[in-house]
Chains A and B, each alone.
Chain A
Amino acid sequence: MKRIYAKEEHCIGCRLCEIYCILEHSGHQTLVKAFADEENRPEPACRVEEDGALSFALQCRHCEDAPCVAACIAGAMTRDPATGVVSHDKDKCVGCWSCVMMCPFGGIHIDIEKGKVVSKCDLCGGEDAPACVAHCPNEALIYE
């Protein structure tokens, strides 16, 4: 399967990946509208990890042997054996956060107030380059 790879030597920490991840999952056409709709603004599934000059964008790795899928007690986290994409079903999620504890990468994000898992990379459908990759200004994210 195609995966997103981060090239930390080229990541400039601009966080445009996070911004375009929000737009992609907001249901809006423009950044201005997506950010104005604060109530429904999604959390980015892609997060830039940064320590001084070292930075890279991190999303769910879509592990073959995904520990989050094994840990999910509600059947909300599933891995499509055909595509290899690990998906999260918000309706089934009971907010136990077992997946969060099991994820070795910190790729699953939660909303403390709502108690549920709120964002996890879905590869934007998986066909074309995901939004974070397509909008990285320095080719620090590649999809192959």
Chain B
Amino acid sequence: MPLSLIPAEFEIRRNPDLCIKCGVCTRQCSFSGQNINPDDGSISSDDNSCVGCQRCVTLCPTHALQVVQRPEQGRRHAIWTTATRAGIAKQAETGGMLLTGMGADKPFPVYWDRMFLNASQVTNPSIDPLREPMELRTYLGSKPNQVEFDEQGRPVTAMPPQLRLELPVMFSAMSFGSISLSTAMSMARAAAESGTYFNTGEGGLHASLRQYGANAIVQVASGRFGVTPDYLANSAAVEIKIGQGAKPGIGGHLPGEKVSAEVSATRMIPQGADAISPAPHHDIYSIEDLKQLIWALKESTNYTKPISVKIAAVHNIVPIASGAVRAGADIVAIDGIRGGTGAAPTMIRDNVGIPIEFALAAVDAQLRKEGIRHQASLVAAGGFRNSADIMKAIALGADAVYLGSSALVALGCHMCQKCYTGKCTWGIATQDPYLTKRLNPEIGVKRLKNLLRAWSLEMKEMLGGMGMNSIDSLRGNREMLRGIEMSAQELEILGVSPAGR
């Protein structure tokens, strides 16, 4: 075999004074980066195999390990970086596309960081959430054009089906197959116990998660995996997946190795067979076609469940979102370029789509202009890192947000971006029974519930600071935002005034 020219990305540093040769690191590494010599019990590390997942570092009982990114290798070049050259070397050796996982890791501008929230001072009182009730409750679904009341003042207008969220945050679509059952279980239970929703992705709903159907948004995607009458009936809402922020225009490919017996039964495909989701829905080539599927799903769920349409943020997102609303979508979910994935071509992930901030602001503004904003709720997705990001998204017009990456980080993900290998050392993006055991759902549920609780507290504190006692007062309230480091045009699209104005 000719010499490989792919440089090692990480350096495994072992402090010999602290290493007790217990071998925990060797048992935790699923990439052969840490190896024990059976003859003498000595331990050796292989930088070339290391993916930087930090599993060994975290589990080492004496903190003897450090895994650090190697500095630029060879003569420094600002454009032809080591990573750029490593990509070429990899492709020269394999002839394949560069694959990756999680959200884009390029230093894109994060516009949330260029917007600041407001607070009350002197002329309007702020509210202390510890003393007064604060409302984060959110209803997703189409709202009537107007509400009529009878003589006793009771509303007589029929309300379309709504999702009731105790906080404007849901877990985003991640299929069983791309993630382990214990990960899906953790999100399902945390959603049920926190009064929100999880999303099945397009992998169907595993039998053990059926009991959480009341908190499940079930996806119907281009592969139609796992879609049965019971799947649709046993849900809170149905989501048509058109696109994904990490890979707009691209289908899905779950490699056969990840199609275990359980995944096979849930997806209704043969064990070990690749699960290919086509790039388009083969029955959707227009808004009119989309309308047919939306209404077919409404009909088959007896008009009792909101129908969501998830689309990736692309250049013409505004007319597409408007079309989806006019086609009857009760919820439109928009996934921005920083959205995560279990597997995507690196070039697509890092170069296709637009940031969620612009897509959200533009869609919200246009739907208002067309007078149809009330006909659908907007859910923003794609790289929400903390409660402040969520507050800013709500001020830009979102009704709620989807969390994917941050939920996985709460469960242990260290963003090594090797989800597509199926060897996730944290037991998240894998079906290997030796690895999936590493995520104990009992612990996972607690961690996710804690995260949602902590973010709720922060959101209430920020709301109170702005003198509001309900998240509804912030929704689409761009007066509560000010921008920095943006061009006049960027500010105009976001509908936000510059700081100081």
Chain A interface (Cβ < 8 Å from any Cβ of B): 9-16, 19-20, 30-32, 34-36, 52-53, 135, 137-140
Question: Is the CB–CB distance between A14 and B443 below 8 Å?
Answer: no
Which chain A residues lie closer than 8 Å to B24 at the CB level? 14-16, 19
For B437, the closest partner residue in chain A by CB is A12
Question: Is the CB–CB distance between A31 and B437 below 8 Å?
Answer: no
For chain B, residues 420 to 451, give those with C-beta under 8 angstroms from any C-beta of chain A: 427, 432-434, 437-438, 440, 442-443
B17 on the A face (CB < 8 A): yes
CA–CA, A79 and B21, complex, Å: 36
CA–CA, A132 and B427, complex, Å: 22
Question: Is the CB–CB distance between A10 and B18 below 8 Å?
Answer: no
Question: Is the CB–CB distance between A15 and B59 below 8 Å?
Answer: no
Given contacts A12-B438, A15-B24, A53-B432, 5 further A-B contacts (CB under 8 A): A10-B442, A14-B59, A30-B62, A31-B61, A139-B440
- Minimal beta-carbon separation of B56 from chain A (angstroms): 10
- Minimal beta-carbon separation of B53 from chain A (angstroms): 15
Question: Is the CB–CB distance between A139 and B443 below 8 Å?
Answer: yes
CA–CA, A139 and B501, complex, Å: 54
- Minimal beta-carbon separation of A21 from chain B (angstroms): 12
CA–CA, A11 and B326, complex, Å: 52
Question: Is the CB–CB distance between A19 and B22 below 8 Å?
Answer: yes
Question: Is the CB–CB distance between A35 and B434 below 8 Å?
Answer: no
CA–CA, A12 and B56, complex, Å: 13
- Minimal beta-carbon separation of A105 from chain B (angstroms): 22
Chain B interface (Cβ < 8 Å from any Cβ of A): 17-18, 20-24, 27-28, 59, 61-62, 427, 432-434, 437-438, 440, 442-443
For B18, the closest partner residue in chain A by CB is A32
Question: Is the CB–CB distance between B59 and A32 below 8 Å?
Answer: no
CB-CB under 8 A for A14 and B28, given A32-B62, A35-B20, A137-B59 = yes
Question: Is the CB–CB distance between A16 and B61 below 8 Å?
Answer: yes
CA–CA, A82 and B139, complex, Å: 59
CB-CB under 8 A for A15 and B23, given A32-B18, A32-B62, A139-B442 = yes
Chain B residues touching A, majority SS: loop
Sampled A-B contacts (20; CB under 8 Å):
A9-B437, A10-B440, A12-B427, A13-B27, A13-B434, A14-B59, A15-B23, A15-B24, A31-B20, A31-B22, A31-B61, A32-B17, A32-B18, A35-B21, A35-B22, A36-B20, A53-B433, A135-B61, A138-B443, A139-B443
For B22, the closest partner residue in chain A by CB is A19
Question: Is the CB–CB distance between A19 and B442 below 8 Å?
Answer: no
Question: Is the CB–CB distance between B437 and A10 below 8 Å?
Answer: yes
Which chain B residues lie closer than 8 Å to A30 at the CB level? 62
CA–CA, A43 and B438, complex, Å: 26
Question: Is the CB–CB distance between B440 and A53 below 8 Å?
Answer: no
Shortest beta-carbon contacts, A-B, top 3: A35-B20, A53-B433, A53-B434
- Minimal beta-carbon separation of B241 from chain A (angstroms): 32
Question: Is the CB–CB distance between A16 and B59 below 8 Å?
Answer: yes
Which chain A residues lie closer than 8 Å to B27 at the CB level? 13-15
Which chain A residues lie closer than 8 Å to B28 at the CB level? 12, 14
Which chain B residues lie closer than 8 Å to A53 at the CB level? 432-434, 437
CA–CA, A14 and B426, complex, Å: 13
For B20, the closest partner residue in chain A by CB is A35
CA–CA, A139 and B444, complex, Å: 11
CA–CA, A35 and B61, complex, Å: 12
For A52, the closest partner residue in chain B by CB is B434
CA–CA, A140 and B59, complex, Å: 15
- Minimal beta-carbon separation of B322 from chain A (angstroms): 48
Which chain A residues lie closer than 8 Å to B433 at the CB level? 52-53
For A14, the closest partner residue in chain B by CB is B24
Which chain B residues lie closer than 8 Å to A137 at the CB level? 59
CA–CA, A32 and B17, complex, Å: 8
Which chain A residues lie closer than 8 Å to B427 at the CB level? 12
For A7, the closest partner residue in chain B by CB is B440
- Minimal beta-carbon separation of B7 from chain A (angstroms): 30
CA–CA, A13 and B62, complex, Å: 18
**Partner pick for A31 among B62, B432, B434, B438, CB 8 A cutoff:** B62
- Minimal beta-carbon separation of A3 from chain B (angstroms): 19
Which chain B residues lie closer than 8 Å to A20 at the CB level? 61
Which chain A residues lie closer than 8 Å to B17 at the CB level? 32
- Minimal beta-carbon separation of B295 from chain A (angstroms): 44
CA–CA, A36 and B438, complex, Å: 30
Question: Is the CB–CB distance between B62 and A15 below 8 Å?
Answer: no
For B436, the closest partner residue in chain A by CB is A53
Question: Is the CB–CB distance between B20 and A32 below 8 Å?
Answer: yes
